[in-house]
Chain A
Amino acid sequence: MAKLLSDKTREAFMGPLNANNPVVVQILGICSALAVTVQLKNALVMGVAVTVIVALANVVISALRNTIPGRIRIIVQLVVVAALVTLVSAILKAFLYDVSVALSVYIGLIITNCILMGRLEAYAMSNGPWDSFMDGLGNGLGYTWVLAVIAFVRELLGSGSIFGFQVIPDWCYEHGYVNNGMMMMPAMALILAGCIIWAHRALNDKEDKK
C-alpha cells in the first residue's frame, strides 16, 4: 500500500505535535498561550485561527519563496501574515462576535506570534507548498492542543465549567467548595504550561541529559 504521506511530509506534520512542539519544546507563542486560556472555547478558537493562518501563510510564502528577494523577505512575510490575520479577524467579528471580543487584541497579535515567523523563516522559505502546508497544520495543531489542555484545567478549576457549562455540581458549592481564583490569573497559566513541559520531558526521555 502506498503511503498516504511521504516520510518528509509525515515528519513535517507529526513532528510539531509532539517531539518538536512549538509551545512545550520550542517555548514559542507563550504570551498568547497565557492570555487566551481562561476559557476553553476562546482557547480553541484562538488555536484554530493560528492553525489556519500559519498553514495558509506557509503555502503562500512557500509558493513565492523563489521570487522573494532575500533582503526584504521579512517584510513580505509580514504582509502575507497581516492580510491573513485581518481576514480571520473579520470572519470572527462577523460570525463569533462574543469570542472575538473576549480574544480582543490577541487575534491581531497573531501577526507577531513567534510560531508564525519561525515557521515561515525556517520551513516555508526552503520547502515546497504541500510540505509547508502540512508543517503549518502540524504546528498550529501542536499549539492548539497545549492551549486546550491549559484552558481545560483553568476553566474547570477557575470557573467550575467546561465550554461555559457548569460541571461542578451546586452540591459542592453548598458544602464550601470555592473556585480557585489563582486559575484566572496568567501566573497560574504559566505554572500549568511549566507542568506540561515537565510531563512532556519526563515522557520523551530523549532530552539531552548532561
Chain B
Amino acid sequence: MFNKLYDIVEKIRPNFEEGGKLHAFWSVFDGFATFLFTPNTPAKRIGAQIHDGNDSKRTMIMVVLALVPAMLFGMYNVGYQHFLATGELVKGAVTCAMFWKAFAFGLLALLPYIIVSYLVGLGIEFTVAQWKHEEIAEGFLVTGFLIPLIVPINTPLWMVAIATAFAVIFAKEVFGGTGYNIFNVALITRAFLFFAYPTKMSGDQVFVRTEGTWGWDNGKTLVDGFSGATPLGQLATAPDATAQIHDTLGSPMTLLDAMNGLYPGSVGETCVWAIALGALLLLVTGVASWKTMLSVFVGGGVTAALFNLSGATAVAATPWYMHLVLGGFAFGAVFMATDPVTSARTEVGKYIYGFMIGMVAIIVRALNPGYPEGMMLAILLMNCLAPLIDWCVVQVNISKRMKRA
C-alpha cells in the first residue's frame, strides 16, 4: 500500500516542481510528501556532518505519538467529570457502557478544539510559507496538538482561535518561523488566553464541562456537593494550612488519586501514568533530553520540600510529591520544558534550566495565590533565560580551557 502511495506522490511531483503548472503550491505538496516519506535529499557529501538528512517531521511525529496517551485519557476524563457532575456516573462503579459513553462525550467535546487549533495555526503557517516561498515548517504539528491539551475544556472556541493566531504570528513567524522562536508557542497561546480572558482560564467554573456538547446532555442539573475547582485552585484559596484537597464530589484525594488523574484540570495534564508513557517514548527514541526532564522534577521537589519546612499556607504545606503530580507540573516537565528549540542547548545548561523551571513553578504556586498553577509562567520565564544559561556555560568552559592551556 505504501509503495502505491509513493508511486502516486512521485507521479504528481513534476506538476509542483519548477516550471510545473502547480508550482505555486510547491510548499503545500512538499509539506505533505515529506510528511509521508523520508525526503529524497540527503545531506551533501562534503565537509563534516553533524546532522543527517532526517526531516524534523520525524521528530515531531514522535512527540505527537507521545502525546496520544495523555489526550486519550484527557478525553475520558472530560466525559467522566461531566457525568460525575450530572450524577449519571457513580464513582467507583463505572460500567463498560458508561466508560465508552464518557469517552465519546470527551471525544466530541475535545474534537472542536483540535480542529480549530490546527485550522488556524496551519492556515497561518501555510499562508506564510507560500508567501515567502519556503517549505512548510512542521513545528505546528506538535503545537497544534498541545494547545487543546493545555486549555480548560470550557474555553470558548473563538478565544482559542484568536490566541492560536496571536501565538503563531507573534511568538513564531515574526522570529523567523519554526526553530527560531524564543518562547514555546503552545504556552504563549495559553498565556495569551490566561491574561486576556482570565475569567475563562481559572476559577472553579471552567475545568469541568457541566453543559453538554453538540447539544448532547444539555441543561442537566448538577448533583449536590459538586465543585469544579482544581486541587491547586482549592489550595490557593484555602483559608488555612490544614486544608485538604478533594475531588469534584468532595471526597479527599490521595497521592494515588492525583496520579490516576480523575480530577478537574486542563485536558491533558491530569493523569501522571499517561504522561509517563509519553515520557518513556520520548526518552527511548532520544527526542527529549532526560537531563532537562529529571532536573525539572528535582528542582520542583527540592523547592517544595523547602516550603514544607515552613508550611505556613495550604500550598506550602502540601507534600512535595503532591506538587509534582498535581496540575500541569508533570505535563510541562515532559512535553514543554524539553522543547529542543526553546530550552537550553548545552548539556550542563539543561540541568540548570530544568532545575530552575521546577523551582520557579513551585515558588509561583506557593507565594502568589493569584496564580494557582506556576508551570506555564516558569517555563516561559526560563525560555527567556535559556540563551543566557547557554552563554554562561560556554564562557565558563572557555575560561577553564584557557587556564588549562
Contacts and interface: CB of A to CB of B under 8 A. Distances in A.
Interface of A: 176, 178, 180-183, 185, 187, 191
B37 interface: no
Given A182-B192, A191-B170, A176 B156 contact: yes
In this complex, which of A181, A183, A187 has the most chain B Cβ atoms within 10 angstroms of its Cβ? A181
A181 B156 contact: no
Interface residues of B, number: 11
Interface in B141-170: 156, 158-159, 170
Q: Is the interface of B mostly helix, strand, loop or mixed?
A: helix
20 contacts: A176-B156, A176-B158, A178-B156, A178-B159, A178-B197, A178-B199, A178-B200, A180-B196, A180-B197, A181-B195, A181-B196, A181-B197, A181-B198, A182-B192, A182-B195, A182-B196, A183-B196, A185-B195, A187-B195, A191-B170
Given A178-B159, A178-B197, A182-B196, 14 more contacts: A176-B156, A178-B156, A178-B199, A178-B200, A180-B197, A181-B195, A181-B196, A181-B197, A181-B198, A182-B192, A182-B195, A185-B195, A187-B195, A191-B170
Interface of A is mostly: helix
Q: A176, A183, A187 — which one has the most chain B CB atoms within 10 A of its CB?
A: A176
Contacts of A181: 195-198
Nearest to A178: B197
A176 B170 CA distance: 25
Nearest to A158: B196
Contacts of A183: 196
A178 B197 CA distance: 7
Interface string B179-194: 0000000000000100
A89 to B, nearest CB: 33
Interface of B: 156, 158-159, 170, 192, 195-200
Nearest to B197: A178
A180 B200 CA distance: 11
Contacts of A187: 195
A31 B113 CA distance: 38
A68 B251 CA distance: 80
A181 B199 CA distance: 10
Contacts of B170: 191
Contacts of B156: 176, 178
A195 B197 CA distance: 22
Contacts of A185: 195
Most chain A beta-carbon contacts within 10 A, residue among B156, B159, B195, B197: B195
Q: Which 3 A-B pairs give the minimum distances between C-beta atoms?
A: A182-B196, A180-B196, A182-B195
A117 B156 CA distance: 48
Nearest to B196: A182
Nearest to A187: B195
Contacts of B159: 178
Contacts of B158: 176
B270 to A, nearest CB: 26
Nearest to B191: A182
B400 to A, nearest CB: 37
A182 B198 CA distance: 9
Contacts of B192: 182
Nearest to A182: B196
Contacts of A178: 156, 159, 197, 199-200
A182 B158 CA distance: 16
A191 B196 CA distance: 14
B183 to A, nearest CB: 13
Nearest to A177: B158
A154 to B, nearest CB: 12
Nearest to A180: B196
Nearest to B200: A178
Contacts of B195: 181-182, 185, 187
A178 B195 CA distance: 12
